[in-house]
Amino acid sequence: MANPNAMGRLLHPALFQLMKFQSTGKLRRIGNAFRSRRKLVLSLLAILLGCVWLGQTVLSIVFRDPADPESLRTWLSVSMLLYCVFHFLKIGSRKPVEPFEWTAAEKQALLSAPLTRTHLVSYRLISYLLATAAKSLCFAIVMIPDLPSFTVGAIGMFLGLSLIDLTRVLLERIAWTAASTSKRCWTIVRATMLVPALTLLTVAFYQTAWSPDFEAAIASPNPLSIPQLFLAIVSDVVGQPPFSWLLAPWVAVVDIVLATQYDWQFLTRTMAVISSTITMSALIYWADQKGTWWQTQLSLRKRTHRSAVGRSENRESNHRAKSPTGMGGAKAIIWHQVHAAIHYRSTLAFALAIPTLLSCMPLLSKTVNLATSLSVIGSMVFYSFLLLPPALMLDFRRNAQRLAMWKAMPIRPIALTFGQLSVPVALMSLFQACVLAIAVLIGGHSPLMFLAWPMLLPLNVLIIGMENAIFLMQPYRRNQEGIEVFFRTILTFTGKGVMFAVGLAFTLVWAWAAISIGKVFESQILGASIFGAGVLVALFVLAWASAKTCARLFEKLDVSQDLPPA
């Protein structure tokens, strides 16, 4: 029988009870969603769409042919490596944040409780591993035709994803400690994270641009052709020195997932990956203890120094920045979000750099013609639709708990909505202007490309407005996991797909009507003018409708019932 005192050193029994209560609370919250009329409609819609998507997944599992084992082995290992590289870039390019992602309620209830740091770290790691187990199970279900063994594949993927998550947590803990120590220490840690990742991506981008298949990828109507070529080049790059050692851990994980023979080599790989996971967990405990001790010592030294020089610890500045007023209170909201954008400037620069590079990839073509210009504009719109909304969360989505504060402000909902949407729309428009400027100044394309920019402004409002409308229908915390996130993701992607399909159908019908009118009056210029004016008017109407929808949903929001638990 296990010693309860020994187990209590790792995780306090009260935390087991807390996790049990949290699971019960989540189930009750899902049940309460069917009591409100608005939430009932959304929940039923999400369940219906979820059944459709799951049915499609089941059909694809039953009827699709198994993938080539060698290709699958390569893609899985490269995908895991790129996922890990993404965490290196994300942590190294932003200001360090407090590790373990404590919510406001957890900070109040747990960090002030008589619990050791080991208890708190164990509690958080277990929550991460439970979410990883759910992801691994979903992966194994989707990959049933390709896995020799469902159980072994799920266990292998669990070990691989756990290793990635533990690596991320360790990096965040190290970055937080280094930033608290000194600027020089943080610079060294940041360079250690960014240099290998950026070197790998730079080599891959260079080889992609000079690949013989690059011209065919640009000419392809598939917007994912260039990213697919880039991933293929990455798989070739990481298979050669000096990057081959980066791929070794993930090759071992994939060998476990796709194992067909369970011999001593399989056992050796499995024990090596398990040992790496345990070692990474031990390093997290060690880094957290040393980092907490060092930060405490630094705090004491700063207090002693301030007392010695006679400075007040709570000294306030005499020059406080005053919030601007006007526009019904919208200026104050814009001012607040601008300061948030300045605070997260490194993260925003990294988030905007990736779609900028991807959108500018067609400019590497040797030919400058209309097809290349349209490819740049199409890629720019595609990545604005896909990548930028999750990165530019400087609006209602930034913090669900702030909705109660916004509701208490004496500002009209439409003015508050205008202030919330302004900063992400401006950043998205800035990204598009930079891409067009690069295409004109460096790529040698016609300045007439800038004529597309005014049409993109209402499209940006529509995209950000739709994201916020979905958020206000069912508010959620950032980094939240669970079945609610699954339904929300389905609703978001389905809404985007429906909007894209309806927009494409309208564009085709309106183009046919404009061409027909131009033929009647025997004027191509008239037809083109009618087409452009109609699309522009439609975009402005839809943008205004999305903003009004956000304002209406915000006005109807009940902070006592609709907000997620802190």
The answer to whether residue 243 sits within a structural domain is: yes
User: Do 297 and 148 belong to one domain?
Assistant: yes
Residue 310 belongs to some domain of the structure: no
Residue 354 lies in a domain: no
Residues 125 and 55 in one domain: no
Residue 23 lies in a domain: yes
Domain end point (choices 305, 340, 358): 305
d(CA 556, CA 566): 21
Tokens of 77: 């290992």
* Same domain assignment for residues 39 and 91: no
Residues 111 and 235 in one domain: yes
Given 286, 305, 324, the domain boundary residue is 305
Instruction: Examine the domain organization and report whether 86 and 126 are in the same domain.
Output: yes
Domain stop point among 252, 284, 305: 305
**Residue pair 425/466 in contact by the 8 Å Cβ criterion:** no
Domain membership of residue 324 (yes or no) is no
Domain count, the chain: 3
* 144 plus 176 within the same structural domain: yes
Residues 296 and 189 placed together within one structural domain of the fold: yes
In a domain, 340, yes or no: no
Report yes or no: 462 and 500 within 8 Å, Cβ to Cβ: no
* Positive or negative: CA dihedral 249, 250, 253, 259: negative
User: In whole angstroms, how far apart are CA 377 and each of 217, 452, 540?
Assistant: 16, 8, 19
Considering the domain architecture, whether residues 39 and 164 belong to the same structural domain is answered as: no
Whether residues 184 and 241 share a domain: the answer is: yes
Q: Tell me, yes or no, if the pTM score tops 0.85.
A: no
Could you tell me if 243 and 173 lie in one domain? yes
What range does the domain containing 28 cover? 15-61
Per-residue confidence of the chain (566 residues) as pLDDT tens digits?
Answer: 445 555 567 778 888 888 888 778 777 776 666 666 666 666 676 677 667 766 776 777 777 778 888 888 888 888 898 888 888 888 887 777 777 877 777 777 887 788 888 888 998 898 888 888 988 988 888 888 888 888 999 999 999 999 999 999 999 999 988 888 878 888 888 888 888 888 888 888 888 878 888 777 776 666 667 777 888 888 888 777 777 788 888 989 999 999 888 888 889 999 999 999 999 999 999 999 888 888 787 777 777 766 655 544 444 444 445 566 667 788 888 898 898 888 888 778 888 888 888 888 777 776 777 777 878 888 888 888 878 888 888 888 887 778 888 888 888 889 999 999 999 999 999 999 999 998 888 877 778 888 888 888 898 999 899 889 888 887 877 666 555 665 666 667 776 777 777 877 888 888 898 888 888 887 778 888 888 888 888 889 989 999 999 999 898 887 777 776 65
Could you tell me if 56 and 76 lie in one domain?
A: no
Q: Are residues 413 and 273 in the same domain?
A: no
